[in-house]
Structure 1
Amino acid sequence: MSKMKRWIAVGLPVAGIFVLTMPAVAAPSDDRQPEEKWPEPMAAHPTGQVLFDRLEFSHTDRDESSVAWDMLAWYGGDRNRLYLKSEGENRLDDGKPSDLHSLEVLGSRLVSPFWELQAGLGTAGSTASGADRENYVVLSLFGTAPYRFEMDNALRINEDGDVSFSLEAEYDLRLTQISYLQPRLEVSGALTEAEDFDRPRGINQLRLGVRYRYELSREFAPYLGVYWSRSLGQKADWLRGAGEDVTETGVVVGVRFWL
């Protein structure tokens, strides 16, 4: 017991000296700035991209060859953008100029996390000088549907008041980190008949395809694939009356790249 008292007698003064000589720990001060003075995490600035989703050579069961393109370019921010879209085809060895399926300039507004509403002007027809092209206004819903289907749905009204529509959907099925299988669906039709442009009322064309793409880099990916298309309804009747086929099957070799 006396030993315990001696330890207490020695320990208490030592503990007191230790406490008194410890450096003072200051209480944290609240020097945070009000929210309105917070710096911007990143300055908003416009950017852009040029994407050739398809630049391909195709050969059909009719022994016809052609080169086709599907290009999209945009510039702007997260909510507002300016788009340039172009699709077309040049049949080889037929002596005719390229056929411009569409060339459109559109303003775009993000209306939900995955969808943009677009509106603008477009033209379609032969690229020959002085050719009589179809000019139109276009309204498009462009974006990604559930399960990551990329879609471009458009409604077009030309100078004569003829109304046509198109639907495009594709899906990237990842096979490896650098290879994809891409099914693709295209449907086109019209709400009014336009004989000058060989476009009857109704659903006129269905096209299904699949492509295997291999990325040599993120910006450059060659691919190969197959497609099948069929004319429908009155459009098919017109083609049969002219002695033409209503179906077409082909193989494609191409490249997808962006800048």
Structure 2
Amino acid sequence: MFAKLLLVGAALLPGVALAGHAEEDWPEPIKEYYTGQVLFDRLEISRTDEEKNAAVWDMMAWYGGDYHRVVFKSEGENIQDDGKPTHLESAELMYGYLVSAFWSLQVGIGTRGELSSDSSMENYAVVSFMGLAPYWFEMDNSLMLNEEGDVQFVSETEYEWQLTQTSYLQPRVELTANLTESEEYQRQSGFSNLRVGLRYRHEFSREFAPYIGVYWNSALGNTADRLEHMDQDTTETGWVIGARVWF
């Protein structure tokens, strides 16, 4: 037995010796390369409890390497037959840096508002902390500061519960808080909105996965009080049908 161990050690010694004398100018085993992706996490039609239909999108595109990336995010909706233009919830161009194995820090600029010729868009700076929390919760936390000094925080959390090899159940929570009050954009200070959704998704391929789901949306705090004062609804429920697409 001892002789066998000596033979194994003798066989490993040349490799150990060679590994200890690697030259500094030798090439890396894996060279850095750049790639990208366009992902529509939500591309859907929703119908509310008031029988209103809306087309909704939520997408992210990025290009770069492991640590440095250019990131573009956009969300918005168009309520059908209401006579109003498409509402752009956000369009953000950012630089992303991988700060750990599962988290990326993103810094950039954004704009939002009604997409019409006579509307005034709200421009802002944004800092996002995006990644995978313990127990596989996907999070995207954003802090926004507009030109008037108004500050808003938005946190989005998703979790994918794998039912089979190709089907998933995905709960989603979005919480919005206004750190300051804004008269110009009619935003009240404090927690302002909570949206909870649940989707069932089936993958026909990795790149195309249709889904169905439901959601519940509620105004909070001072925002809810203001809507009640204006005799407007503070809650909304509905169902969605759409697809998750990436390329």
Task: Provide the TM-score with structure 1 as the length reference.
Answer: 0.87
Distance, in Å, in 2 between the alignment partners of 1:129 and 1:140 is 29
SS at match of 1:68: strand
After superposition, where does 1:64-213 map in structure 2 within 5 Å?
A: 64-213=52-201
SS at match of 1:218: coil
- Provide the residue aligned with 2:235 in structure 1: 247
1:200-223 Cα distance to aligned partner (Å, 9 max, x none): 000000010000000000000000
The offset of 1:96, in angstroms, is 1.4
1:139-167 Cα distance to aligned partner (Å, 9 max, x none): 11011100111100000000000011100
The one-letter code of the counterpart of 2:234 is V
SS at match of 1:112: coil
The one-letter code of the counterpart of 1:228 is W
Larger gyration radius, structure 1 or structure 2: 1
Identity in percent? 55
Q: CA RMSD in A?
A: 1.4
1:160-184 Cα distance to aligned partner (Å, 9 max, x none): 0001110000000000000000000
Give the unaligned 5+ runs of structure 2: 1-12
Distance, in Å, in 2 between the alignment partners of 1:203 and 1:134 is 20
Task: Provide the TM-score with structure 2 as the length reference.
Answer: 0.91
- Provide the residue aligned with 2:6 in structure 1: none
2:33 corresponds to 1:45: yes
SS at match of 1:243: coil
- Provide the residue aligned with 1:7 in structure 2: none
SS at match of 2:99: strand
SS at match of 2:105: strand
Distance, in Å, in 2 between the alignment partners of 1:107 and 1:130 is 31
2:221 corresponds to 1:233: yes
The one-letter code of the counterpart of 1:91 is I
The offset of 1:131, in angstroms, is 1.5
Alignment coverage as a number of residue pairs: 232
